[in-house]
Each structure stands twice: as C-alpha cells, then as structure tokens.
Structure 1
Amino acid sequence: MSEVPNDIIKIITKATDAACATAMKHYGIARASIKPDMTYVTAADREIERALREKLSRALPGAAVIGEEDGCGAAGVRGAAAKGWAWVIDPIDGTSAFIDGLPTFCVSVALFEDGRPVAGVLRLPATGDIYTARRGGGAFYNGAPIRPGGPLSRHDLPICVPSKVHLRYKIAYQGKTRNMGSTALHFALVARGAAIAAVATAKIWDIAAAALILTEAGGRVASLDGASINWRSMLKDPELPAPPLLAASRSRWKTISALISPLK
C-alpha cells in the first residue's frame, strides 16, 4: 500500500470546496425527509456525498468509501475498509441545523489507513471556517495550530452535549451545557479550547475527522468507561454507534468523566 500523499489535506480541501458551495446553494431553503433511523436527510446531503465519492475515489483509486447517506456496499467492501485505505464522509453533519438555517453544520471527510484515521478536514460552509489534521502533524483552525484547554473554574466554558442529553445522561458539571447541532463541531470546539468537553453518541461519519482533529490538538476521545474507540469495528459496521463518548483535553478527561454518567 502506498504512503499517505504529502498534500492529502490540500486534496481533501479541494474536494470539499464544491461541497461547501452546494451546501450554501441549498442553505435556508432545503426540504427534508426522514430516514428509517428517524434522522433527517436533504437533497443537499445526497448531492454532496455523490460528488465527494467521485472526487475522492479519483484522488486515491482503490480506496473504500463510506458515507452516511449511501453506506459502503457489501460486507467485503466493509472488510476492505478496515484493512486498507478508506474515506469516511459525512456530507452534512448537523442536518437539523442546516434545515433550520443555523450556521453550525459541517462537511466532514476523513481518510483511514489500516483502521486508523490519518487525515481529516472539517468545513463550516456558512462561516468559512476550516479545521484540519494529519496524524503526527498537529491540528489547525483556519491555518493556525490549536490546543484544547481552559480552566474548569471557568463556568462560561461549556460542555457540548447531544440534543436529547436530558434523556440520556446525568451531568454534574456546574458550568454551562450547549448544543450546536453537530457532533463534529462539538469535538472541534473542544480541540481549540472553546468548549471544555463534549459528550456524544455517534456513528463513524459523525466523528471520523473531528476525533483526529481533537487528538492531534492534544485531546482525548474515549468511551465514558475509558475504552478507546474501536475504529475497525465501526468501519466494518458503520451503522453501529460508538458507546457514549467523552472528548476533552488529556489532562482533564478523567476529572470530567467523573461528572457524567448515562441514565439507566
């Protein structure tokens, strides 16, 4: 298998330029339908994913492609994704926000090599913001390096939470909680120190790029019991959600995890 291209971030960024333009073409006027899992999908989701599949497949021929809207095909393809190159795409993370005309939705693309994320790009089409990371190369927000942080004594720094957090978790944190409508953005906000932590129940396309961005920034993403994400299992069965996850700085992950517990 060949090496990760040196310009992989440029390749992904160029591929997502048109995706951002497509999103903005539909922004504020998109109509949604409900999928069997009771989440929303729009014509923009499908249009963006089709275009990204085509462009990324040309950029790295032979790589598997996993996307939220069109899946990844047969079991053999899923097995290959866990062993070789694989693109993981979320055409719009935060579709509800997108439908509502809120600017907090993202286009997310990650490249995996042998079951590990090695490059990731997160774009916010409505604001022009971009988060990027390459394994071993650090993480960046609009081109500047980022680190997670912020003192726990600062109660204005929120924990980002899912929309139904009140039904799923008990949180003893004395500061704010906040939902932006996008799991990927929640992780990115932690990566640059704009949030103290993020709690999530997610599928692979929600977190593939954002988890790499956070870990390269110096953060940690793990299940609430401390177990690492099993990326290979998620690549083999992309519809399988990860256990409840916590994203935070490495130094504060254990302290914050003690404040959060799933409801029985």
Structure 2
Amino acid sequence: MPSEPHTATPSDLRALCADIAHEAGSFAHEQRRRLGAGSRAAHDTKSSDVDPVTEFDRATEELVVDRLRAERPDDSIIGEEGADHTGSSGLEWHIDPIDGTVNFVYDLPGWCTSVAVLRDGAPIAGAIYAPVVDELYTAALGEGATINGAPITVSGATDLATSLPATGFSYHLDEHRVEQAERIARILPRIRDIRRQGSAALDLAYVATGRVDAYFEEFVNSWDIAAGVLLVTEAGGTVTAFDGNALDVTAPAGVLAATPALHGEFVTMFVASR
C-alpha cells in the first residue's frame, strides 16, 4: 500500500531505498549474467561516442520508477535514463539504475544501482547496491550509514602524502578531459596513489567505508552522487564543491568528499591548480 507522503520518516525512506536498490540491482545483475562472463553488452550512446547506455539501464530504471509510482505516487522522480515526474509531496527521487555502465558493458564488477530521496534539494535517505559483490550501503539523515547492516565510518587518514583518493573522468572528449588530466598530473606527486573505479556512487560509498580517503570529480549529475553524498556525511566525512563551498547536489559542478582531516588540503590543492 502506498505510504502517506507527509508521514514517512528518513528511516522509512531508507528502508524503501534499500529495498528498491536491491531489487533493481539484482534484476540488472541477473540480466548481465545471462549474457555470459566476459561478453560485452550491446549498447547505444548518449552524451558522446564513449558514453554508453544499454537496454538494461532502461529496463532497470523502468523497474525503479514503477515501484516508486506505486508506493510514492505524490513524489517527484528524476532518473538518468529520462525519468522525469513532477510530484506534489516535496520529496524528489534521484535514481541511477546502473551507475558504471561502461563496467557493466565490459563485464567488470564496478557498477551499482543508486537510489536517493531529497527534500529541499538535500538527500535525506539513500541506498547503493553493488550486486556483483552483494554489498548494500544505506543511509538516513541523522541516523548514520551502513554496509549490509553494519555501521561504517570514513577513514582516520590525516597524512596527504599517504592518502588514497578516487576520481573519475568526463565522457566528453574535449577540454574537460584535458583539464582533468592536468589536475591529476599536479596532484599525483603529493599522494600515495589514485583509483579510478568507474562509478561515482561506488567511489562515494568507498569513502564512507574508509576504503579510500577521498573522492573528487567534475561533470557529474545528481543521480550519480545523491545517495553517496549522504553516505559520506552520515559516516563522518565532509562533502563540498571543489572550492570548499556548499555542494548543490541537484546541480553539482564538481564534488569533493574526504575524511575531515584531509578535506581542507584537497581544497587547497584544487584552488591552487586552477
């Protein structure tokens, strides 16, 4: 039965996020397994010739939208593959059915389903499910973050020289990638190493679990980061724009998430590198 729009708590919404993310991610995983190990999924392209979209992205988003329309009919929905429903409740869902589609296409494990709900432009509940490794991350505003039900916290890293951040790159083969590559060249000598997983949502989840110490990326979208931003903040991390100012999750120019002791140093590096 649909829940009342004004009575659902962040905890209630967290449970719904988790249930939908798990169902949708499991569906996509089963479809991928049917293609066979090591096979490459057929795909079209979206924003550029290297930005793929598959039939499974679309089918998985349809599954998520159907669930939300049934259980939260008065809420708004924004999805990567075109979902755009305007509701009246004041709650807005930002969904990415398969974040890390390139990994999905190549049968690499680094992809997930991300589901988040926002109020007044800020996430109040979210879930990320990585079906290949069966890891479900959840968070609710003021209630902490978990992986498979166990509480998580960001790392205690304090030394920039031994820190391990993650990042990603634009699918626009123009000055965006040139700018990002130049920034990496300036940053890499000052850190331990860098990781490029291929999924913004998972990168943020890895910051929340302490697997990496920071994550930064430009040219992302709300559905890429909404659930992950809440995970990081609820796990004790700091999330801002590149310049250290407040992040607009609904229109992010760039996101920087880090353990608190390192966040300021990353901001200083980014400002100096511009």
If the TM-score is normalised by the length of the shorter chain, which range does it land in? 0.7 to 0.9
What pairs up with 1:1-264 in 2 under 5 angstroms? 2-5=6-9, 6-27=11-32, 28-38=39-49, 39-72=51-84, 77=86, 84-153=90-159, 157-163=163-169, 164=177, 165-167=180-182, 169=184, 170-171=186-187, 172-201=189-218, 202-231=220-249, 234=250, 242-261=252-271
Further displaced range: 164-173 or 88-97: 164-173
Mark the CA change 1:173 to 1:116 in structure 2 (over 3 Å): closer, same or farther: same
Mark the CA change 1:26 to 1:151 in structure 2 (over 3 Å): closer, same or farther: same
Distance 2:122 2:8 in 1: 12
Aligned residues: 250
Question: What secondary structure sits across from 2:212 in the alignment?
Answer: coil
Distance 2:108 2:29 in 1: 12
Q: RMSD between aligned alpha carbons?
A: 2.3
Give 1:152 shift: 4.0
Distance 1:34 1:184 in 2: 21
Please list the CA deviations of residues 9-40 of structure 1 after superposition, one character each: whole Å capped at 9, or x if unmatched: 22222223331222113325521111134421
Distance 1:71 1:46 in 2: 10
CA contact (8 A) 1:168 1:262 kept: no
Further displaced range: 205-214 or 144-153: 144-153
CA contact (8 A) 1:155 1:176 kept: no
Further displaced range: 10-19 or 42-51: 10-19
Give 1:260 shift: 3.3
CA contact (8 A) 2:157 2:262 kept: no
Distance 2:239 2:109 in 1: 25
Mark the CA change 1:173 to 1:118 in structure 2 (over 3 Å): closer, same or farther: same
Distance 2:90 2:55 in 1: 31
1:237 match? none
Question: What secondary structure sits across from 2:143 in the alignment?
Answer: coil
CA contact (8 A) 1:147 1:218 kept: yes
Distance 1:162 1:193 in 2: 18
What are the ranges of 5 or more consecutive residues in structure 1 without an aligned counterpart? 235-239
What are the ranges of 5 or more consecutive residues in structure 2 without an aligned counterpart? 33-38, 170-176
Give 1:263 shift: 6.0
Distance 2:116 2:198 in 1: 20
Distance 2:108 2:163 in 1: 21
CA contact (8 A) 2:217 2:254 kept: yes
CA contact (8 A) 1:159 1:178 kept: yes
Mark the CA change 1:152 to 1:54 in structure 2 (over 3 Å): closer, same or farther: same
Give 1:119 shift: 0.2
TM-score normalised per structure 2: 0.83
Please list the CA deviations of residues 205-239 of structure 1 after superposition, one character each: whole Å capped at 9, or x if unmatched: 000000000011111111111111124xx2xxxxx
Q: What amino acid is aligned across from residue 133 of structure 2 in structure 1?
A: T
Q: What amino acid is aligned across from residue 30 of structure 2 in structure 1?
A: K
TM-score normalised per structure 1: 0.86
Distance 2:41 2:23 in 1: 17
Question: What secondary structure sits across from 1:117 in the alignment?
Answer: strand
Give 1:254 shift: 0.3
Question: What secondary structure sits across from 1:251 in the alignment?
Answer: helix
